[in-house]
Structure 1
Amino acid sequence: MGIDTVSDQRAMAQERLIRCFGKVGAWFYEVARGIDRRPVQPTHQRKSVGTERTFSENLEDRRTMLATLQQMAEQAAARLQALALAGYAVKIKARFPDFATVTRAYTATEVTGNTVSIYIRC
């Protein structure tokens, strides 16, 4: 049928997909466009809360890095508070232009959830 990728499928008319695949053809048409009307039914309890930043240029200034880390700690703390959660571990991940990734983690003996405790543990 000339369908090798989702992009190929997305280029097909809905009527053709229905003609070839029946009722499921309408579903193929929608999912190829990111449409899924089924309700989300989470099956597991949240285990982490985080925040990420992508920069257009590498950060090289230590003060800028620390200020950014402070902002991210504030965002993570706000998300924890909104979810009425706290945790023991803080993890930092840095990804470089070549996609090399470095992670560091700290696990505390008491729960954390506020900006200061997250930032200090970073």
Structure 2
Amino acid sequence: MGRRGDTGAAAAIDLLWAGYSGTLSTAVTELWVAARTDPELRAAIRPVDRALGRATLEHVTQVAGELPPERAELLFWLTVNLTRGLALDAELGGDPARRRQLLEEWKRIAVLLYQDATTAPS
């Protein structure tokens, strides 16, 4: 995390993990599972979920400030989907050490992948 160009990607991943791995995330997952078969619930939570997603993406884009916006958005969606899976793994009793290892590996990969995006034209 100490090299120039990598702090934003790692910080964005940490931010997303914090937001998508707690009690609130568990509740949201349970709501979405219930909404799968309940059209009224789905209609009620979809706009809230989209607004929260937009606000989170905006915040992550600021945290990963040196990245071009389209690269920050790609980092956002890759990380959100990974962290949702890791959070579900936690709920199912998966190994916490393995989750930490996977998250650290994703941060390492993302830092390598996105450090060049700060200077490369889009």
TM range (shorter): under 0.3
Q: Which has the higher helix share?
A: 2
The two structures have a TM-score, normalised by structure 1, of 0.25
The two structures have a TM-score, normalised by structure 2, of 0.25
Q: Which has the higher strand share?
A: 1
